[in-house]
Amino acid sequence: MTEEKAKAYWRENISTILKLLAVWFIVSYGAGIIFINQLNTIEISGVKLGFWFAQQGAIYVFVILIFIYVRMMNKLDEKYDVHE
């Protein structure tokens, strides 16, 4: 791999990571702290939605984002021909 391709690969990798971290931040900070009062007006099975996001939702979203990251990185590896 040439140095130019390596830099482009790394740039796309960092871009992907920043996008996924932004989603996680919005879900964990936004839903769990900023919008908790609005979300607490909604109840699902007797649990307030804002409380659920603060306690469990952000963790579930983080785990889902890990799987999305793996999928995106596999595509990126194939694009730059660095897959195994």
Q: For position 83, what pLDDT does the model report?
A: 72
Q: For position 58, what pLDDT does the model report?
A: 87
Q: How far apart are CA 34 and CA 81, in angstroms?
A: 42
Looking at the whole model, is its pTM more than 0.85?
no
Reported as a single tens digit per residue, the pLDDT across 19-35 is 999 999 998 888 888 98
* Residue the block writes with tokens 């603060």: 54
Q: How far apart are CA 40 and CA 50, in angstroms?
A: 5
Q: How far apart are CA 63 and CA 82, in angstroms?
A: 25
Identity at 58, one-letter amino acid code: A
- Specify which residues 51 forms β-bridges with: none
Q: For position 12, what pLDDT does the model report?
A: 96
Those residues of the chain that have pLDDT short of 70 are none
Q: How far apart are CA 71 and CA 65, in angstroms?
A: 10
